[in-house]
Amino acid sequence: MSFKFHLPLLLLSFIFTLAVSQVTLAQIGLNLGQTDQWMKGAKAAIERSDYETANSIFRNLIDSGQPLPEEMPYLFAETLFHLKQYDNSANFLNKYLELTGFTGDHYQGAQELQQRLEAPLKEIQECQLCDRRGYRYKTCFTCEGKRQIEQDCNYCKAKGVVGCSRCNGSGMITKVNIFKIVEYFECERCAGKGRLTCPVCEGSLKEVSSCRTCNGSGKLSSEDICDHVADEAHEHVEVKTEAVR
């Protein structure tokens, strides 16, 4: 009796599990199919030297969260090299070599790309006009390259006063007399006010200090790839920076 009662439930459970498995396998197949289409599209773009399109496809593939094909980091590194994003190119090339070692299908090409990257990476390291990723500096929009400006006092948060550290801002200090009785006295340091004039801005609410936007460098990274050639605008930044020193 018990066997007959549970048989339909077992059969129903089996059918449901099978259906879920088929849906999961279908989804996996769909995802793999999409990945394959993206890779074919990226390769076709590379063959016609359309590196912007290849770059967009590779980034979509990364954002999809799908497992990446083994050759993808190498092909992306080649794409980024042609777009002059040398630092990013080196990162993906290193990832490819880390994953495949000397057994990857593109090992020879990876070795050649490493050699081609040496000169531009060295140029980036030696250039004073760009950050370590090769992106051109632009003048800080807050301090206009001056590095130091008048701004709200950071020490007192532009209040002009700070709490007295001796009485912890209460204006009173306590002492225990010989009878172990707590006695209260007015704090001599702050005259019982519990606060003192800010020692940095001296109550003016302002201070001259390093620009907080650029951390006192006078410049910010832009989205422009650096050509390592100085122009009038960058010479202007350097003059301002030197003047502050």
Question: Beta strands of 181-238 (E only): which ranges?
Answer: 182-186, 195-197, 206-210, 219-225
Average pLDDT, the chain: 84
Report residue 191 as tokens.
Answer: 């005259």
Pairing label, strands 206-210, 172-176: unpaired
In 3D space, the residue among 189, 198, 242, 202 whose CA is nearest the CA of residue 219 turns out to be: 242
Report residue 136 as tokens.
Answer: 């051109």
| Residue 125 parent element (H or E) | helix 107-126
| Check whether domain 14-126 has CATH 1.25.40.10, yes or no | yes
Q: pLDDT: is 52 or 8 the higher one?
A: 52
Residue with tokens 């890779």, as numbered in its chain: 39
* Percent of all residues in the chain with a pLDDT value above 70, rounded to a whole number: 81
- Model-level pTM greater than 0.85? no
pLDDT of residue 76 exceeding 90, the answer is yes
pLDDT of residue 239: 37
Domain spans of the chain, in order of start:
14-126, 131-154+207-245, 161-197
Q: Give the mean pLDDT of 122-130.
A: 92
Residue with tokens 């007295």, as numbered in its chain: 164
pLDDT of residue 4 exceeding 90, the answer is no
Least confident of 32-41, 61-70, 226-235: 226-235
CA 205/CA 202 separation, integer angstroms: 8
In 3D space, the residue among 151, 156, 154, 150 whose CA is nearest the CA of residue 198 turns out to be: 156
For residue 25, what pLDDT band results from cuts at 50, 70 and 90? very low
pLDDT of residue 54 exceeding 70, the answer is yes
pLDDT of residue 232: 59
Report residue 192 as tokens.
Answer: 């019982």
* Percent of all residues in the chain with a pLDDT value above 90, rounded to a whole number: 68
pLDDT of residue 158: 93
**Cα 51 to Cα 22, 76, 84, distances in angstroms:** 38, 9, 11
| Residue 137 parent element (H or E) | strand 135-139
Tens-place pLDDT, residues 151-199: 999 999 999 999 999 999 999 998 888 888 889 999 999 999 999 999 9
pLDDT of residue 22 exceeding 90, the answer is no
pLDDT of residue 12: 54
Residues 6+ apart with CB under 8 A from 175: 182, 183, 185
